[in-house]
Amino acid sequence: MSDYLMEASYFPGCTMKTGVEESNLPMQIVLSKLKVKLEEINDWNCCGSSSGHAMNHEIPVGMGARNFSRITPGKPVVIPCPNCFRNWATAKHHLENEPETKKKYEDSFGRLATDVQLLNIYDLYYQVLKKAKEDSVTFENTKPLNGLKVAVYYGCSAMYPKDLRPTDQPKDSVEQVMKDLGAEVVVWPWPHQCCSAFVSAVYPEIAEEFITKIVGGAAAAGAECLVTTCAMCQMNVEMRIISSNMPNPMPIFHLNQLMAIYLGEKASAHGDWWKFHLVDPVPLLKKVSLWD
């Protein structure tokens, strides 16, 4: 029998591959603790991002088709970036429903394994924690995130469009994960508010307006930090907190980091994660006794 609970193909995407070490490193630790084995897709390509479908509707389908030709049939694909996930799911939808499109790309790339399950990273965490609860499995050396008041920030890509999401996932899966981890989840107005995505790079003033609204809303609801699953949102929030000189900056964690701390990683041993943050989360971790 395999030593792993789950084996999956892994699509890092451009962001995870060339940056965001502070999320990538804890994710690898968490997955090995959860006995999930990921194998990076050989010679994967960009999913097309926001610009692909903005300029030509065939781009995300074509790029998705090439990726589908490179995965191992039968294994689920884990995709950490919500926008990559959406492009993958869009490509899967078109390739499965338009036989002539699929044939066109199969002629170029070979067999397309479009029947695999696509999993976002938080879908995976939710499923694993749910299964652990049902089977009364406990993880060793856990450190509950007691006292951490957190606003769960999905961003716009994570839950929409509903048709492209797995049917067995609730809409508040990350809130449920955070509660399982022992954190205090606040109710706040902007869990799905757009962070302004690429507009941030062209019109920073719009991004600053959006981020001020998001961070202000979280603070007014009593949160001390945000947690997100989207590296783009995380970067935009931090960048615009800095560029707008916000008086009350709030750290924003990657879900992977909080999962790793819960599963027994010492925050103090991971300066290699925190050094990448533009808004330093260390004082908060010390305050809620999660540092050691």
Interacting residues toward other proteins by CB under 8 A: 14-15, 17-21, 43-46, 48-59, 62-63, 66, 86, 108-109, 156-157, 160-162, 192-194, 196-199, 201-206, 210, 235, 239, 242-243, 275-276, 278
Nearer of residues 135 and 163 to other proteins, judged by Cβ: 163
Nearer of residues 238 and 265 to other proteins, judged by Cβ: 238
d(CA 181, CA 258): 8
First-to-last C-alpha distance (Å) of the chain: 36
d(CA 179, CA 148): 11
Smallest distance from other proteins to CB 57, Å: 6
Q: Is 62 left (phi over 0), alpha (psi -120 to 50) or beta?
A: alpha
Smallest distance from other proteins to CB 206, Å: 6
Nearer of residues 16 and 129 to other proteins, judged by Cβ: 16
d(CA 51, CA 188): 30
d(CA 39, CA 77): 9
Q: Can you say how many angstroms the Cα of residue 256 is from the centroid of all Cα atoms in its chain?
A: 8
> What is residue 235's DSSP assignment?
H
Smallest distance from other proteins to CB 134, Å: 30
Smallest distance from other proteins to CB 131, Å: 29
Smallest distance from other proteins to CB 204, Å: 6
Nearer of residues 38 and 181 to other proteins, judged by Cβ: 38
> What is residue 150's DSSP assignment?
E
Smallest distance from other proteins to CB 41, Å: 11
Burial of 112 (0-12, 13-18, 19+ CB in 10 A): buried
Nearer of residues 205 and 292 to other proteins, judged by Cβ: 205
Nearer of residues 100 and 140 to other proteins, judged by Cβ: 100
Measured at the alpha carbon of residue 173, what is the angle toward residues 170 and 175, in degrees to the nearest 5? 130
Smallest distance from other proteins to CB 194, Å: 4
Torsions phi, psi for 39 (to 5 deg): -120, 120
Nearer of residues 82 and 225 to other proteins, judged by Cβ: 82
48 neighbors 64 (Cβ within 8 angstroms): yes
